[in-house]
Copies of this chain bind each other. A is one copy, B any other.
Amino acid sequence: MKSDRSLDVVIVGLGRVGRALAKQIQKADSQLRIVGLADRGGLLYHERGLSASLVDEALSAKAEGSSIGICPSALPPIYRFSDLATSRTLFVDATAASGMAAGWCEVLASSGAAGVVLANKLPLCEAWSVSGPLFNHPRVRYEATVGAGLPILSTLRSLLATGDLVTRMRGALSGTLGYLVNQVSEGHAFSAALSDAIALGYAEPDPSADLGGRDVARKAVILSRAVGWPAELSDVERDGLVPDSDAYQGAPSADYSSADRKLKELFADADCDGIAIRYLAQITPERISVGLARIDLHDPFAALAGTENRIAIHTRRYPIHPLAIAGPGAGPETTAAGVLSDLIDLAEKSKLRGENPCPC
């Protein structure tokens, strides 16, 4: 009975987010069943659903650093996901791969899949001519790309659907940079804070995309496009937390003594002036900037602790005091929850569409 009404999920990419999602789907007694797991090395697929033991086997292989391809029942990797799509199929892109936008557009156009959910930011940040069709598509969701499980993109969608008009957004959108800025503002050396962040799992072993602000720039472009301002990544005015020349040397072997000195000075000056510094994205219809910003101590952004994210949405209905959403915006569990929330939303809509099949 359940299987007759359930939607089929194919998870592409089984890093930490993909694996956490697979576990959450298995645990939630929901209308979703996993029919496919895919990585670069292989595909596990069964149209009536993968058994729990097969999913566990795949997750174990991935957790140990192998590919799905080593599972005895694995098929060769697939590159045209539209071949797997039926009107009951929901695809999840939990990869970090580039160049996926066209493929997802094809899936939506040719096969009429039930939906595509992106945890991967890159398909949304390609040239607008390529990524555009993914925005405002009724069967595409991407909540987890900004703020992990925080309900940021669904809130924007709801504001627009009820006739509100977004005028500007301001966001602290990187847990990694938030942590680093907090540590430096408390007097720790930047290089020491970075080593801690890597050890604690807050930062990637190669933190260059974070440190250079490229990751925040992508999120800013996604937010901008989501409210109807089709900016390109190249339009973003971006300053890294440390200069690109330092950031891209690759930590922890890089020499950050120059960055240590500069940031220490910057934060000491701010302290004297009685202001705070935060790494912010500022988004208007005309301009997107990403970088360190000096803000008032009473600004709610000054109170962010740890790896917290925060977004402030100014609209026609919220002109002075914005609508604000804050909380931990990283971690595989919360990111997977953002994806699952999208899946449930699409499933409720798709399931109902097919609920009363015509018997004739």
Contact B24 A163 (CB under 8 A): yes
Say yes or no for A204: interface residue by CB 8 A criterion.
no
Say yes or no for A210: interface residue by CB 8 A criterion.
no
Contact B28 A163 (CB under 8 A): yes
CB 8 Å contact bits of A318-360 with B (1 = contact, 0 = none): 1011111111100001100100110010001110110110111
Contact A328 B337 (CB under 8 A): no
CB 8 Å contact bits of A287-330 with B (1 = contact, 0 = none): 00000000000101001011010000000011011111111100
Contact B325 A318 (CB under 8 A): no
Q: Of A149-157, A193-201, A213-221, A274-282, which binds chain B?
A: A149-157
Most buried by B among A163, A320, A334, A360: A163
Chain B: which residue is nearest A324 at the CB level?
B326
Chain B residues with Cβ below 8 Å from A327 are 318, 321-324
The minimal Cβ–Cβ distance linking A295 to chain B, given in whole angstroms, is: 12
**C-alpha spacing A173/B162, complex, angstroms:** 23
Chain B: which residue is nearest A351 at the CB level?
B352
Chain B residues with Cβ below 8 Å from A328 are 318, 321, 323
The minimal Cβ–Cβ distance linking A99 to chain B, given in whole angstroms, is: 29
The minimal Cβ–Cβ distance linking A349 to chain B, given in whole angstroms, is: 6
Say yes or no for A158: interface residue by CB 8 A criterion.
yes
How many copies the complex holds: the figure is 2
Contact A333 B317 (CB under 8 A): yes
Contact A358 B355 (CB under 8 A): no
Query: SS class of chain A's interface: helix, strand, loop or mixed?
Result: mixed
Chain B residues with Cβ below 8 Å from A321 are 305-306, 308, 327-328
Say yes or no for A269: interface residue by CB 8 A criterion.
no
Chain B residues with Cβ below 8 Å from A359 are 358, 360
The minimal Cβ–Cβ distance linking A331 to chain B, given in whole angstroms, is: 8
Which A residues are within 8 Å of any B CB, using their own CB?
24, 27-28, 30, 149-151, 154-155, 158-159, 161-164, 298, 300, 303, 305-306, 308, 317-318, 320-328, 333-334, 337, 340-341, 344, 348-350, 352-353, 355-356, 358-360
A/B interface sample: 25 pairs, CB < 8 A: A24-B162, A24-B163, A27-B163, A28-B161, A28-B163, A149-B162, A154-B154, A154-B158, A159-B337, A161-B340, A161-B341, A162-B344, A298-B303, A300-B303, A323-B325, A323-B328, A324-B324, A325-B325, A326-B326, A352-B352, A353-B355, A353-B356, A356-B358, A358-B360, A360-B360
